[in-house]
Amino acid sequence: MQQQLRNVMTCALVCGGALLLTTGCNFEQRKRPIGDDPPRVLTGTRTTLTVVGSSAEAPVVEGVVASMWTGPDNHDAPVVRAQTWSGDWPIQRLESIELDSRPPGVSLAGPFHGEHLGILHSGGALLITDDPPGTTSLDPTGFVPANLGDVYVLRARPGEQVEAEVGVAAGVGHGWLVRVHDDAPVAPWEGGTAGVRDLAEALLKRMAFEMDSGVGNSAVGGVTLSQVINHRLHAVPHVESDHIAGAAAFATGFGFIYSSQVRAGPLRATIQVPLSLHVFGDSQGTLFGAIDPLSTPTVLGQSVAWRNIERVRVSVNDDGPIGTAMAGAIREAVVDAISTATLPTLGGLTLDSYLPIWLAAAADTPTLPDAFDLVLVPEPIPANANDPRDFQVGFIPQASTPNANVEPRRRGQMLIVR
The answer to whether residue 25 scores a pLDDT higher than 60 is no
332: pLDDT confidence band, cut at 50, 70 and 90? very high
**Per-residue pLDDT averaged across 353-367, rounded?**
85
Residue predicted with more confidence, 369 or 308 = 308
What 3-state class would DSSP assign to 106? coil
The answer to whether residue 173 scores a pLDDT higher than 70 is yes
Co-location of 272 and 179 in the same domain:
no
Is 7 part of any domain? no
Co-location of 281 and 225 in the same domain:
yes
The answer to whether residue 230 scores a pLDDT higher than 60 is yes
16: pLDDT confidence band, cut at 50, 70 and 90? very low
Q: Give the per-residue pLDDT at 153.
A: 92
54-82 tens-digit pLDDT = 988 889 989 898 998 887 665 788 999 98
Q: Give the per-residue pLDDT at 315.
A: 93
Lowest mean pLDDT among 82-96, 151-165, 316-330: 82-96
Q: Give the per-residue pLDDT at 21.
A: 31
Q: Could you tell me if 138 and 306 are in contact, meaning their C-beta atoms sit under 8 angstroms apart?
A: no
Which amino acid is it at 237? P
Lowest mean pLDDT among 106-110, 153-157, 168-172, 276-280: 106-110
273: pLDDT confidence band, cut at 50, 70 and 90? very high
What are residue 322's phi and psi, to 5 degrees? Answer: -65, -45
The last residue of one of the domains, among 164, 185, 206, is: 185
Residue predicted with more confidence, 385 or 306 = 306
**Per-residue pLDDT averaged across 364-368, rounded?**
71
Q: Could you tell me if 102 and 108 are in contact, meaning their C-beta atoms sit under 8 angstroms apart?
A: yes
Co-location of 45 and 91 in the same domain:
yes
The answer to whether residue 129 scores a pLDDT higher than 60 is no
Q: Give the per-residue pLDDT at 37.
A: 43
* CA–CA gap between residue 300 and residue 8 (Å, rounded): 16
* CA–CA gap between residue 290 and residue 282 (Å, rounded): 13
Q: Give the per-residue pLDDT at 341.
A: 94
What are residue 259's phi and psi, to 5 degrees? Answer: -140, 140
Co-location of 55 and 133 in the same domain:
yes
Co-location of 105 and 225 in the same domain:
no
Q: Which structural domain, as residue segments, surrounds residue 56?
A: 28-185
Percent of the chain with pLDDT over 70: 75
Total count of domains within the chain: 2
The last residue of one of the domains, among 185, 206, 241, is: 185
**Per-residue pLDDT averaged across 337-361, rounded?**
92
Co-location of 174 and 208 in the same domain:
no
162: pLDDT confidence band, cut at 50, 70 and 90? very high
Lowest mean pLDDT among 232-236, 281-285, 367-371, 413-417: 367-371
Is 140 part of any domain? yes
Strand ranges (DSSP E) for 26-160?
28-31, 39-40, 45-54, 61-70, 79-81, 93-100, 107-108, 114-121, 136-138, 151-156
Is 13 part of any domain? no
The answer to whether residue 231 scores a pLDDT higher than 60 is yes
Q: Please, what is the average pLDDT of the chain?
A: 79
The answer to whether residue 207 scores a pLDDT higher than 70 is yes
Co-location of 172 and 206 in the same domain:
no
Residue predicted with more confidence, 60 or 392 = 60
**Per-residue pLDDT averaged across 317-330, rounded?**
92
**Per-residue pLDDT averaged across 251-280, rounded?**
93
Co-location of 229 and 302 in the same domain:
yes
Is 9 part of any domain? no
- Angle, CA 69 vertex, CA 65 and CA 72 arms, to 5°: 165
Co-location of 154 and 195 in the same domain:
no
Where residue 172 falls (left for φ over 0; alpha for ψ -120 to 50; beta otherwise) is: beta
Co-location of 335 and 204 in the same domain:
yes
41: pLDDT confidence band, cut at 50, 70 and 90? very low
User: What's the predicted TM-score (pTM) here?
Assistant: 0.84
Co-location of 96 and 221 in the same domain:
no
Residue predicted with more confidence, 304 or 408 = 304
What 3-state class would DSSP assign to 276? strand
Q: Which one of 186-200, 259-273, 364-378 scores highest in mean pLDDT?
A: 259-273
The answer to whether residue 284 scores a pLDDT higher than 90 is no
Residue 241 exposure: Cα atoms within 13 Å on the Cβ side: 26
Co-location of 158 and 206 in the same domain:
no
Is 386 part of any domain? yes
Q: Give the per-residue pLDDT at 238.
A: 94
Is 22 part of any domain? no
The last residue of one of the domains, among 131, 157, 185, is: 185
Is 263 part of any domain? yes
Q: Which one of 101-115, 280-294, 322-336 scores highest in mean pLDDT?
A: 322-336
Is 321 part of any domain? yes
